[in-house]
């Protein structure tokens, strides 16, 4: 009997007892499902309302739903083989919707998909293909989880995953088996019952396990905050961030219950990869555990049984976790929310952290240096002072204004601007944009810094800003919106890329060109989606080669999240790990686009010795090809 | 009697250098106003100190002596000098600007409705007293006003102590009236911070070493320099990372923050992570072979040279100077 | 324990200063102000004592209107209430004048302990606390790094020159001048600032507290000092440079 002549064997009729039994089982299964699902939904809905949630632009939400849920794009792209296997399981479920409905209808004698009819037959074959793919997929995933045992799935053997996998497999196999027998075969009825019982057993299990994502994740993805690391503003006098259950919002709760425990976030976390306690998956599951035990109305501290303060403060806010999550969980607002809860209430006691905060309380920059040092640098470089007549305001930032290496980068970029004939000026006074304190959760300081800076910019009538630091760019463009209207700002890589054809090309003339391993900074790449422009600029100076993890998967340098100010790390240094990876490309130069990355790699390369590759910012790669003496001073500041 | 009285401070049984500087200041003041100088020593056993003071050409020496004047207490010294001032009515009282003086002389001045003009760095015609404001960024000119004695204290090193040896002057004694109940504070014996723990934060002088030292075996050079100065050793991060010095000696953003009187940076380039830990030092000296090294930006004094030559030469010169 | 902490609002530590028209003080427009550094340590010491032994911490400050921000900062860090002595030109008063204002206000409160910073970052007299003790008739100690409460009063750790320390026992009430660096400062928090909004800030006029008397010392004028900080690169070969450096260490830096 060829497969194409086979039809799905549906039992012809069921006795009244069978129908009664079926009805009771369905009701029981559904009741059990809701007995667990109901309270979860209640917890989500009774959580605090999100203050800044807006449904619009709805088009973007619909697209995201289509692309990430229906097409499973992120699931497949980030882990191709397991992702594809999962996609088949998912599509199989979707295809099976109609089939399942029909299956139970058959139980009551009201089947509507006639397996012999044209549509019914076609549909049964259609579903069968998916059933086969799904069965293969779920089998593969089972083997992976229980035999291959990747690290990020956790050490514990998950019996529930085994049970679910078995049920799904059983469902698919019983469906396919029904093609191999005839309607009248004595096996038809038992097969039908096994299939039904599998479904009815599966349904109540869903809300007890991570398979709740079946129900929730489409909503989670549709309703996500959008943007990247979208930190909600604090509302009112009693809001200090995520302190207790009463601060958990609906989105946070929804996301916590949607976690599939896939571990993609943890797999890519730089802290976790270098032996730190931080585990992004555990943070999300911790919120879930808290909600299950204490609920959203509880005053019990979030940091405690279900969350570790130490882990919270090991995060560099690189965003690899949030980028990877296939079900739309936004880790960064949660982690920063927990930090806010600790810092805004003074619960966080950290020597270096306090030093950073005190330096910014009393002074203008995160390094604790005197503002007069910046003034001296500006004078020595003879930077024009911004007076409203120039096109750009060149924002120095803390690194550009005070760090010797940052100053070199700024000076070189200024030379390039001079060479291009672009007018710019430097502000007389700058305060730190507040990026480190924002990421550490100090809203008091952040507000003070943002407001002071916004006023300076308004007074000086600044319309366009260009900066060498992705942290400044992000903070000014996005985070300052909470307190005013920041002017347009771009990163110097975006600026330089626009002028690429006016900049000197260095790799002409037949000699082997220099190889440049470009490192994507977190705050330029994942945060701002700028990947090609810096490469365009770097390729003017040499041949760009890629590190093993690049673009959206770039591995953090370790400085972000305020961590560069927090003293020594436990375990291996994140910067050393990444530096090794960049050196392993064999490139003669490491190209950076962020003064913090530059600083971290400089330290890391220092341990490599004299064979280390050159380390240069993209601005420096261009400036070195300019004729000397372009009005800005090129001496070391 | 009026005139200019200079109060000398006991430093381990001898007159300290800063007191001699106060004498020089008093003499400068005397030259301006054409008055005579008198020295005062205070304590429970002031004979040896008075004898030493008498040979310094300062004129008469008064021993303000009482059993309750040792150990130093603010109550004791204030009351004793108050009585003395009432008895001799000096025009000026010149003190060395020491911790002890800061502890009692303002109270003493207040008893006469006066105020101490402290930490004076120069005296000019008037007399006008110059002192620093805003951590040295400004200079202020002060004049005494109203009636009553004028009390000033002079900054360490502002006046050059003269090495005068003169034939002994007259010594007299003044015995104040003091009662036990007047002394409200009970001071304990002075002690040093624990020798075990490294406390860079309170070190007066620090010699810090960086990657320029190249190898662990070369550390002995820097240790010799530190020993000659009586300074603590510190290091920039790479040295501690390599395990050449313990992590407690690391100065920088992920280590200690220090602000000693003297910070000698040897073979340190001056990356920002290190600078933020030591930029508060009162005097920074840098030795580095790279003239462009950022450390020279923050240094008060710099030597551009090979540390393997400079450091031993410096150690030798310091040892010679200390003899 | 009822603790009064005297704080002063001073120009930001590293501010560029320009001399004003009168030649007697600095131009204050464009200046940022902050809490005097050693006063911050005094406040921290007081807050730690309150946390350990209970009681009340009251902030006392003499200054113009703008000093209110610094006073509120102290309230945000945990002080319970504040008294502001309104005085438009406290820098024109000598140390005795300022101490008189503060001592009179403090006496009204009958405190167990009065803490002041060691010296202000602007005028730097370093005398206010000692004079206050004298005016209030209380025992005092200066250059204090640590305060411990005992049955008979307090034991304090005093800094002496050249790395020596001394413990002193004092009865209460007493006045202490606190040295910077003895403890770790706490940072201002959002929660603290919100709470501070409801804390009492009482204002007193300078005239009620002090009879205008002639000053004992006057600040005639201020100037920029001759030498600005710049790096002196010492020339010569190793031996020569070393010798020159030693000379400078002896006579200019005065550490040898």
As for how many domains chain B has, the answer is 2
pLDDT per residue as tens digits for the range A346-363: 999 999 999 999 999 988
For chain C, say whether B301 makes contact (Cβ under 8 Å).
yes
Parallel/antiparallel/unpaired status of strands B301-304 and C232-233: parallel
CB-based contact C194 A354, cutoff 8 Å: no
Q: Which chains touch A (3 or more CB pairs under 8 A)?
A: B, C
Sorted by sequence, the CB contacts under 8 Å of residue A27 that are 6+ apart come out as none
Mean pLDDT of chain A: 91
Torsion of CA A553, A556, A557, A558, to 10 degrees: -170
In B, minimum Cα distance to C232 occurs at: B301
In B, minimum Cα distance to C229 occurs at: B300
pLDDT interval class at A281 (50, 70, 90): very high
Cα within 13 Å of Cα(A56), Cβ side: 0
User: What pLDDT does residue C227 have?
Assistant: 58
**Angle at A139 (CA atoms; ends A138, A144), nearest 5 degrees:** 95
Residue B175 lies in a domain: yes
CATH number of A365-498: 3.40.50
Question: How far is residue C10's CA from residue C33's CA, in Å, rounded to a whole number?
Answer: 6
DSSP tally for chain C: helices H, then strands E: 7, 13
Question: How far is residue A145's CA from residue A150's CA, in Å, rounded to a whole number?
Answer: 7
CATH topology of domain A227-343: Fumarate Reductase Iron-sulfur Protein; Chain B, domain 2 (1.10.1060)
Q: pTM score, two decimals? A: 0.88
Domain's final residue, options B147, B182, B217: B182
Nearest Cβ partner of B74 from C13, C140, C249?
Answer: C140
Residue B170 has pLDDT above 50, yes or no: yes
Q: What is the ipTM metric for this complex?
A: 0.89
For chain C, say whether B191 makes contact (Cβ under 8 Å).
yes
pLDDT per residue as tens digits for the range C211-246: 767 788 989 999 987 655 688 999 999 999 999 999
**Rounded average pLDDT over A115-141:** 87
Q: Which of residues 21-60 of B touch C (CB under 8 A)?
A: none
Q: B178 and B62, same structural domain?
A: yes
- For chain A, give every domain's residue range: 3-222, 227-343, 365-498, 505-623
User: What pLDDT does residue A1 have?
Assistant: 44
Q: B133 and B20, same structural domain?
A: yes
CB-based contact B107 C215, cutoff 8 Å: no
pLDDT tens-place values along chain C, 256 residues long = 999 999 999 998 777 788 888 888 888 887 889 999 999 999 999 999 999 999 999 999 999 999 999 999 999 999 999 999 998 877 788 899 999 999 999 999 999 999 999 999 899 899 999 999 999 999 999 999 999 999 999 999 998 876 789 999 999 999 999 998 888 899 999 999 999 999 999 999 988 887 767 788 989 999 987 655 688 999 999 999 999 999 999 888 878 7
pLDDT interval class at B193 (50, 70, 90): low
Residue B195 lies in a domain: no
Domain's final residue, options B182, B216, B238: B182
Residue B26 lies in a domain: yes
Residue B194 lies in a domain: no
Question: How far is residue A452's CA from residue A319's CA, in Å, rounded to a whole number?
Answer: 28
Min Cα separation C48/chain A (Å) = 14
Q: What is the 3-state secondary structure (H, E, C) of A3-40?
A: HHHCCCCCCCCCCHHHHHHHHHHHHHHHHHHHHHHHHH
Cα within 13 Å of Cα(C218), Cβ side: 11
User: What pLDDT does residue A632 have?
Assistant: 42
User: What pLDDT does residue C128 have?
Assistant: 95
Interface test with A, best of C18, C74, C187 (most A CBs within 10 A): C187
3 state SS of B287? strand
Q: Which chains touch C (3 or more CB pairs under 8 A)?
A: A, B
Give C-chain residues touching A351 at CB under 8 angstroms: 184
Residue A568 has pLDDT above 90, yes or no: no
Provide residues of C within 8 Å CB-CB of chain A: 12-16, 32, 34-35, 73, 184-194
Counting residues of chain A whose pLDDT is more than 90, the rounded percentage is: 70
Question: How far is residue A124's CA from residue A145's CA, in Å, rounded to a whole number?
Answer: 30
Mean pLDDT of chain C: 91
Give C-chain residues touching A343 at CB under 8 angstroms: 189
Residue B205 lies in a domain: yes
CB A285 within 8 A of CB A342: no
Residue B193 lies in a domain: no
pLDDT interval class at A629 (50, 70, 90): low
pLDDT interval class at B196 (50, 70, 90): low
Torsion of CA A343, A346, A351, A353, to 10 degrees: 20
Nearest Cβ partner of C186 from A346, A369, A370?
Answer: A346
Q: B58 and B163, same structural domain?
A: yes
pLDDT interval class at A510 (50, 70, 90): low
Residue B84 lies in a domain: yes
Sole residue written with tokens 């409801």: C198
In C, minimum Cα distance to A363 occurs at: C12
Nearest Cβ partner of B276 from A367, A566, A603?
Answer: A367
Residue B220 has pLDDT above 80, yes or no: yes
pLDDT per residue as tens digits for the range B231-260: 999 999 888 888 899 888 999 877 788 888
Q: Say which CATH number the domain at B278 has.
A: 3.40.50.1220
Nearest Cβ partner of C134 from B107, B189, B304?
Answer: B107
Counting residues of chain B whose pLDDT is more than 70, the rounded percentage is: 98
pLDDT per residue as tens digits for the range A573-585: 999 999 999 999 9
Count of CB atoms situated within 10 Å of the CB of A632? 20
CB A491 within 8 A of CB A467: yes
Min Cα separation C2/chain B (Å) = 20
Determine which of A41-55, A211-225, C159-173 has the lowest per-residue pLDDT on average: C159-173
- Identical fold between A3-222 and A505-623: no
Nearest alpha-carbon partner for B101 in B119, B124, B85 = B119
Question: What sign results for the dihedral spanned by CA atoms A446, A450, A456, A462?
Answer: positive
Q: B246 and B220, same structural domain?
A: yes
CB-based contact C14 A357, cutoff 8 Å: no
Question: How far is residue C241's CA from residue A369's CA, in Å, rounded to a whole number?
Answer: 30
**Rounded average pLDDT over A607-618:** 84
R_g of chain B, CA atoms, integer Å: 24
CB A130 within 8 A of CB A96: yes
Residue B192 lies in a domain: no
- Indicate the helix (H) or strand (E) that contains A195: helix A188-205
Nearest Cβ partner of B241 from A399, A402, A607?
Answer: A607
CATH 3.90.79 is right for the domain spanning A3-222? no
CB-based contact A367 B272, cutoff 8 Å: yes
DSSP A259-316: -----HHHHH-HHHHTT-S--HHHHHHHHHHHHHHT-TT--SBSSBTTB-HHHHTT--
Min Cα separation A374/chain C (Å) = 12
Q: B51 and B115, same structural domain?
A: yes
For chain C, say whether A427 makes contact (Cβ under 8 Å).
no
Q: B262 and B168, same structural domain?
A: no
**Rounded average pLDDT over B289-308:** 90
Counting residues of chain B whose pLDDT is more than 90, the rounded percentage is: 57
CB-based contact A240 C15, cutoff 8 Å: no
pLDDT per residue as tens digits for the range A319-355: 999 999 999 999 999 999 999 999 999 999 999 999 9
Give B-chain residues touching C223 at CB under 8 angstroms: 138-139, 141
Residue A513 has pLDDT above 90, yes or no: no
Residue-number span of the structural domain to which B311 is assigned: 200-322
Sorted by sequence, the CB contacts under 8 Å of residue C54 that are 6+ apart come out as C1
What angle in degrees, to the nearest 10, is found between the helix axes of A188-205 and A16-45? 20
Residue A265 has pLDDT above 90, yes or no: yes
CATH topology of domain A505-623: Rossmann fold (3.40.50)
Provide residues of A within 8 Å CB-CB of chain B: 352, 355, 367-369, 399, 402-406, 564-568, 599, 602-603, 606-607, 635-637
User: What pLDDT does residue B286 have?
Assistant: 96
């Amino acid at each position: 009997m060829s497969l194409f002549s086979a039809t799905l064997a549906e039992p012809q009729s069921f006795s009244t007892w069978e129908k009664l039994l079926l009805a009771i089982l369905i009701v029981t299964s559904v009741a059990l499902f809701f007995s667990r699902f109901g309270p979860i939904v209640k917890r989500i809905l009774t959580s605090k309302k999100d203050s800044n949630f807006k449904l619009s632009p709805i088009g973007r939400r619909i697209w995201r739903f289509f692309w990430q849920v229906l097409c499973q794009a992120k699931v497949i792209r980030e882990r191709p083989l397991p992702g594809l296997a999962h996609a088949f399981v998912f599509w199989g479920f979707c295809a099976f919707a109609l089939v399942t409905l029909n299956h139970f209808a058959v139980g009551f004698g009201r089947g509507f998909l006639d397996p012999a009819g044209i549509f019914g037959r076609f549909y049964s074959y259609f579903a069968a293909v998916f059933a086969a793919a799904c069965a293969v997929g779920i089998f593969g995933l089972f083997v992976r989880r229980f035999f291959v045992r990747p690290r990020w799935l956790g050490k514990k053997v998950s019996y529930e995953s085994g049970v679910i996998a078995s049920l799904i497999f059983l469902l698919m196999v019983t469906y396919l088996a029904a093609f191999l027998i005839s309607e009248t075969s004595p096996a038809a009825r038992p097969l039908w019952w096994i299939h039904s019982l599998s479904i009815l057993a599966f349904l109540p299990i869903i809300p007890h396990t991570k398979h709740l994502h079946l129900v929730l994740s489409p909503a989670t993805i549709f309703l996500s905050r959008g943007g990247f690391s979208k930190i909600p503003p604090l509302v009112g006098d009693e809001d200090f961030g995520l302190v207790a259950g009463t601060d958990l919002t609906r989105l946070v709760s929804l996301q916590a219950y949607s976690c599939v425990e896939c571990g993609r976030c943890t797999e890519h976390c730089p802290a976790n990869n270098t032996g730190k306690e931080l585990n992004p998956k555990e943070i999300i599951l911790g919120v879930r555990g808290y909600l299950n035990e204490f609920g959203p109305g509880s005053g019990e501290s979030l940091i405690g049984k279900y969350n570790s303060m130490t882990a919270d403060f090991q995060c560099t806010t690189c965003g690899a976790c949030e980028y990877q999550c296939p079900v739309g969980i936004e880790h960064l607002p949660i982690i920063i929310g927990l930090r806010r809860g600790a810092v805004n209430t003074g619960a966080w006691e950290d020597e270096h952290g306090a030093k950073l905060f005190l330096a910014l309380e009393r002074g203008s920059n995160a390094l604790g240096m005197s503002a007069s040092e910046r003034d001296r640098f500006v004078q020595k470089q003879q930077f024009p002072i911004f007076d409203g007549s120039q096109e750009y305001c060149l924002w120095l930032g803390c690194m550009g204004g005070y760090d010797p290496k940052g100053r070199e980068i700024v000076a070189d970029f200024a030379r390039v601007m001079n060479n291009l004939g672009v007018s710019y000026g430097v502000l007389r006074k700058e305060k730190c944009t507040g990026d480190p304190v924002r990421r550490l959760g100090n809203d008091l300081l952040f507000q003070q810094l943002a407001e002071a800076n916004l006023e300076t910019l308004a007074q000086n009538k600044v319309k366009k800003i260009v900066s060498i630091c992705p942290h400044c760019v992000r903070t000014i463009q996005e985070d300052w919106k909470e307190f005013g209207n920041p002017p347009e700002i771009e990163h110097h890589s975006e600026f330089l890329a626009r002028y690429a054809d006016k900049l000197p090309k260095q790799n002409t003339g037949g000699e082997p060109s220099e190889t440049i391993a470009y490192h994507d900074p977190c705050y330029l790449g994942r945060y701002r989606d700028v990947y090609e422009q810096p490469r365009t600029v770097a390729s003017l100076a040499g041949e760009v080669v890629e590190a093993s993890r690049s673009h959206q998967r770039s591995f953090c340098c370790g400085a972000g999240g305020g961590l560069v100010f927090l003293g020594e790390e436990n375990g291996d240094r994140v910067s050393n790990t990444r530096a090794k990876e960049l050196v392993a490309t064999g490139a003669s130069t490491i190209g950076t686009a962020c003064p913090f990355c530059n600083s971290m790699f400089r330290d890391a390369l220092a341990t490599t010795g004299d064979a280390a590759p050159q380390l240069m910012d993209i601005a420096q790669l261009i400036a070195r090809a300019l004729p000397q003496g372009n009005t800005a001073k090129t001496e070391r500041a | 009697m009026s005139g200019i009285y200079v109060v000398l401070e006991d430093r381990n049984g001898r007159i300290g250098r800063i007191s001699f500087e106060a004498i020089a200041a008093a003499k400068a003041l005397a030259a301006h106003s054409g008055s005579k100088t008198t020295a005062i020593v205070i304590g429970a056993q002031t004979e040896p100190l008075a004898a030493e003071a008498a040979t310094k050409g300062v004129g008469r020496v008064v021993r303000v002596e009482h059993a309750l004047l040792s150990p130093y207490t603010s109550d004791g010294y204030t009351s004793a000098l108050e009585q003395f001032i009432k008895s001799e009515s000096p025009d000026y009282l010149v003190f060395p600007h020491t911790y002890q003086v800061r502890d009692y002389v303002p109270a003493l001045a207040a008893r006469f409705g006066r105020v101490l003009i402290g930490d004076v760095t120069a005296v000019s015609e008037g007399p006008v007293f110059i002192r620093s404001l805003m951590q040295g960024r400004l200079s202020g000119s002060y004049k005494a006003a109203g009636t009553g004695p004028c009390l000033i204290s002079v900054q360490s090193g502002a006046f050059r102590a003269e090495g005068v040896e003169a034939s002994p002057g007259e010594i007299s004694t003044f015995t104040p009236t003091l009662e036990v109940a007047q002394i409200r504070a009970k001071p304990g014996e002075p002690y040093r911070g624990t020798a075990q723990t490294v406390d860079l934060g309170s070190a007066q002088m620090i010699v810090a070493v960086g990657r320029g030292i190249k190898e662990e075996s070369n550390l002995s050079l820097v240790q010799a320099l530190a020993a000659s100065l009586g300074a603590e050793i510190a290091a920039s991060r790479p040295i501690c990372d390599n395990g050449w010095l313990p992590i407690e000696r690391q100065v920088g953003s992920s280590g200690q923050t220090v602000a000693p009187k003297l910070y000698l940076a040897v073979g340190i380039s001056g990356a920002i992570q290190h600078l933020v830990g030591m930029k508060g030092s009162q005097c920074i000296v840098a030795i580095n072979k790279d003239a462009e090294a950022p450390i020279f930006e923050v240094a008060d004094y710099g030597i551009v040279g090979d540390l393997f030559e400079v450091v031993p030469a410096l150690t030798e010169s310091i040892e010679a100077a200390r003899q | 324990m009822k603790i009064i902490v005297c704080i002063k609002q001073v120009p930001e530590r590293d501010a560029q200063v320009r001399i004003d028209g009168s030649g007697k003080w600095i131009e204050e427009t464009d200046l940022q102000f902050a809490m005097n550094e050693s006063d911050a340590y005094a406040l921290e010491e007081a807050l730690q004592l309150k946390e350990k032994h209970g009681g009340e911490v009251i902030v006392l400050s003499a200054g113009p209107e703008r000093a209110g921000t610094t006073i509120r900062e102290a309230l945000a860090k945990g002080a319970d209430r504040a008294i502001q002595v309104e005085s438009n030109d406290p820098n024109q008063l000598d140390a005795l004048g300022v101490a008189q204002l503060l001592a009179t206000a403090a006496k009204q409160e009958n405190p167990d302990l009065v803490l002041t910073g060691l010296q202000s970052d602007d005028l730097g007299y370093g005398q206010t606390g000692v004079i206050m003790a004298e005016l209030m008739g209380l025992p005092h100690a200066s250059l204090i790094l640590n305060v411990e409460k005992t049955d008979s009063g307090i034991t304090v750790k005093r800094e002496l020159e050249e790395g020596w320390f001394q413990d002193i026992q004092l009865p209460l009430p007493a006045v202490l001048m606190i040295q910077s660096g003895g403890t770790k400062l706490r940072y201002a928090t959002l929660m603290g600032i919100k709470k501070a909004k409801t804390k009492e800030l009482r204002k007193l006029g300078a005239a009620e507290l002090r009879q205008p008397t002639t000053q004992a010392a006057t600040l005639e004028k201020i100037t920029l000092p001759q030498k600005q900080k710049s790096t002196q690169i010492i020339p010569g070969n190793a031996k020569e440079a070393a010798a020159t450096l030693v000379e400078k260490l002896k006579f200019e830096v005065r550490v040898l």
